[in-house]
Amino acid sequence: MNVIVCDTPEEAGARAAVLVAAILRQRPNPVLGVATGESPLRMYAALRELVRDSVDVSHLRVFALDEYLGLDPARPDSFHSVVHREITLPFGLHEAAVSVPNGIGTEKRVMADAAEYETAIAAAGGVDVQVVGIGVNGHIGFNEPGSPKDSRTRIVMLAPETLAANARFFTPEPVPPRAVSQGIGTILEARNIVLLANGLRKAEAVRAAVQGRETVDVPASLLQGHPSLQVFLDRDAASLLS
Ligand code: F6R
């Protein structure tokens, strides 16, 4: 694991983008895994500039980590909409090149689509670089504490800390209590993982993920053994690291 501590979130985003662009450039049919949330937004902005001239985006395939269960994908707060706004449109991608887990329909339908999502990732050749944020409780994707290391794309219950943290996107409505998320096993299969975290509120989760022991209680710690894990932090997020 490489931990890169930057002076500002902007610098962390810019440096992560250089790495992600370099990985995408090496591949004829690059596959990018994207997280939603605030943490990667600066990275995506910098990446857009970098890929504009140097990556043939007509061959770029994108898979998102997660989506709320039962949330209309047309709503602006759905992850379908976030990925459309932050990735599909600004990168100039075809809709068909960008996939987000389906959270609509019966549970049986959603579970069948989750299995197909795994198949689609594999059929695309696997993820070349997966971008992840980290929750205040150490979650990655919506893999909450207790998620097994070999978990796959499935329906999950959101933890109380996640509901509280994500209330800012839904107020005054409640945050949907369940989601569909790639599993930790799915994420670990990416050839490269780039984790981004900013701010003091992430400092304890970052410490536990980077310097704590590997445990299902801190899902991000399960990434520790990955052969290519790069962690980009601002000074605040890194403030509890020794
Ligand atoms: C979102 C996701 C989550 C977020 C995490 C941090 O697709 O997978 O794990 O990355 O909740 O969210 P922010 O970056 O908003 O603090």
Catalytic residue among 118, 128, 144, 189: 144
The DSSP output letter for 90 is: H
Provide the strand spans (E) within the chain.
Answer: 2-6, 31-34, 61-64, 66-68, 98-99, 129-132, 154-157, 178-181, 192-197, 229-234
* In 99-220, alpha helices (H): 107-123, 160-166, 184-188, 203-211
Provide the 8-state DSSP code for 127: -
Mean pLDDT, rounded, for 122-128: 98
With a cut of 90, say whether residue 207 has pLDDT above it.
yes
Ligand 1 centroid distance, CA of 65 (Å): 10
Q: Does the pLDDT value for residue 56 go beyond 90? A: no
- Does the C-beta of 38 come closer than 6 Å to ligand 1? yes
- The reported pTM is 0.98
Banded model confidence at residue 54, pLDDT cuts 50, 70, 90: confident
CA separation for the pair 140, 66 (Å, rounded) = 10
The active-site residue out of 66, 118, 128, 189 is 66
Instruction: Report the percent of the chain where pLDDT is more than 90.
Output: 97
Q: Quick check: CB of 182 below 6 Å from ligand 1?
A: no
pLDDT at residue 30, rounded to an integer: 96
**CB neighbours of 196 closer than 8 A, spacing ≥ 6?**
12, 13, 16, 39, 40, 43, 131, 132, 133, 232, 233
Domains of the chain by start residue, with CATH: 29-192+201-220+230-234 (3.40.50.1360)
pLDDT at 55: 84
